[in-house]
C-alpha cells in the first residue's frame, strides 16, 4: 500500500500536481461486524497518514461500513436549512419562482449521486422524502397537517425512492445502447435462453453476491434487477427520449395509482 501511495505521489509530481500529505487520509472498507480499529497507519516519505472512519469524495461522504448514514444526514440537514431560509421570502415570490428555487437548490441536491442510495433502509430514505414533502408544502402553501400525496402528484414529482430507481434505469438503457462508459457497460450481461421466448424480452443476468447488504446495492446487481422488472414494452424500446418519458410515466403510475 505504501509503495502504491509513493507511485501516486511520483505521478502527481511529474504532472505538476501536489499531494497534500497533511490532508491525505485513507479509509478501510469492512463489513458491519468486522472491527478494523487496530489497522496500522500508513506513511508516505516519513509522513504519517491516519486512518479515517469516513471520507468525502465529490460531496459524497463515504463511511467505512458503506451505510451512507452520514451522507444522508448531511444532505437532509443542508436541504432543511435552505428550505427554512426560503420560507422567509416565500410570500414575496410567485409559485413558479418558488419551483425554480426548489429545483435548483433542493431537488438537484436530492438527485446528486442518488443512485448510490439504492437498497438503503427505508428509515434513511424517509429522511430525504421528508425534505421532498416539505419542499412541496413550501411551493404550494400546503399546511402542515394536510395530506401531501395529492400535492406531489400535482407537481408531477416522483418520490425519492422512485427517483433513485429512475436514475439507475436510465443508465442501464445507455449501457445496452452503447452510449454509457465502458466500466458501467461491462457490468451488464444479457440473458441467453436459446429456443425460448425469453430471447425476445431483452432480459439481463442478475449476478449473485455473497454480501447482500453491500453487494446487492451495486450497479451490477441493482441495474439488472430493476430492468427485468420493467414491462416488456419498456425493455424493448430503442429511443432514449421515448424510453425516458415512458419510464417516468410508468413510475408515476406506480407511485400514485
Question: Can you give the pLDDT at residue 162?
Answer: 96
Task: Report the chain's mean pLDDT, rounded to a whole number.
Answer: 88
Cα 37 versus chain centre, distance = 28
Per-residue model confidence as pLDDT tens digits over 144-190: 889 999 999 999 999 999 999 999 999 999 999 999 999 999 999 98
Question: Can you give the pLDDT at residue 36?
Answer: 67
Per-residue model confidence as pLDDT tens digits over 92-104: 999 999 999 999 9
Transcribe 86-105 into DSSP letters.
HHTTGGGS-HHHHHHHHIII
Nearest to 54 by CA among 39, 40, 67, 41: 67
Residue burial 167-195, b: 16+ Cβ < 10 Å; e: rest: bbbbbbbbbbeeebeeeebebbeeeeeee
- How far is 35 from 52, CA to CA, in rounded Å? 13
Residue ranges per domain, the chain?
Answer: 1-52, 69-157, 162-256
Amino acid at each position: 500500500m505504501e509503495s502504491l501511495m509513493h507511485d501516486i505521489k511520483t505521478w502527481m509530481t511529474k504532472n505538476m500536481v501536489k499531494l497534500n500529505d497533511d490532508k491525505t487520509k485513507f479509509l478501510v472498507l469492512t463489513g458491519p461486524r468486522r472491527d478494523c480499529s487496530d489497522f496500522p497507519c500508513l506513511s508516505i516519505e516519513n509522513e504519517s497518514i491516519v486512518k479515517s472512519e469516513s471520507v468525502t469524495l465529490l460531496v459524497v461522504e463515504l463511511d467505512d461500513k458503506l451505510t451512507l448514514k452520514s451522507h444522508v444526514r448531511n444532505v437532509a440537514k443542508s436541504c432543511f436549512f435552505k428550505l427554512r431560509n426560503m420560507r422567509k421570502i416565500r410570500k414575496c415570490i410567485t409559485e413558479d419562482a418558488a419551483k425554480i428555487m426548489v429545483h435548483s437548490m433542493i431537488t438537484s441536491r436530492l438527485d446528486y449521486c442518488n443512485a448510490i442510495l439504492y437498497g438503503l433502509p427505508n428509515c434513511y430514505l424517509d429522511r430525504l422524502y421528508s425534505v421532498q414533502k416539505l419542499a412541496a408544502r413550501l411551493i404550494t402553501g400546503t399546511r402542515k397537517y394536510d395530506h401531501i400525496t395529492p400535492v406531489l402528484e400535482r407537481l408531477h414529482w416522483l418520490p425519492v425512492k422512485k427517483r433513485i430507481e429512475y436514475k439507475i434505469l436510465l443508465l442501464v438503457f445507455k449501457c445496452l445502447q452503447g452510449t454509457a462508459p465502458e466500466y458501467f457497460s461491462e457490468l451488464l450481461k444479457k440473458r441467453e435462453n436459446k429456443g425460448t421466448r425469453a430471447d425476445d424480452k431483452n432480459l439481463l443476468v442478475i449476478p449473485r453476491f455473497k454480501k447482500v447488504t453491500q453487494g446487492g446495492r451495486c450497479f451490477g446487481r441493482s441495474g439488472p434487477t430493476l430492468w427485468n422488472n420493467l414491462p416488456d414494452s419498456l425493455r424493448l424500446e430503442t429511443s432514449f427520449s421515448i424510453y425516458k418519458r415512458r419510464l417516468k410515466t410508468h413510475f408515476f403510475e406506480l407511485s400514485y395509482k
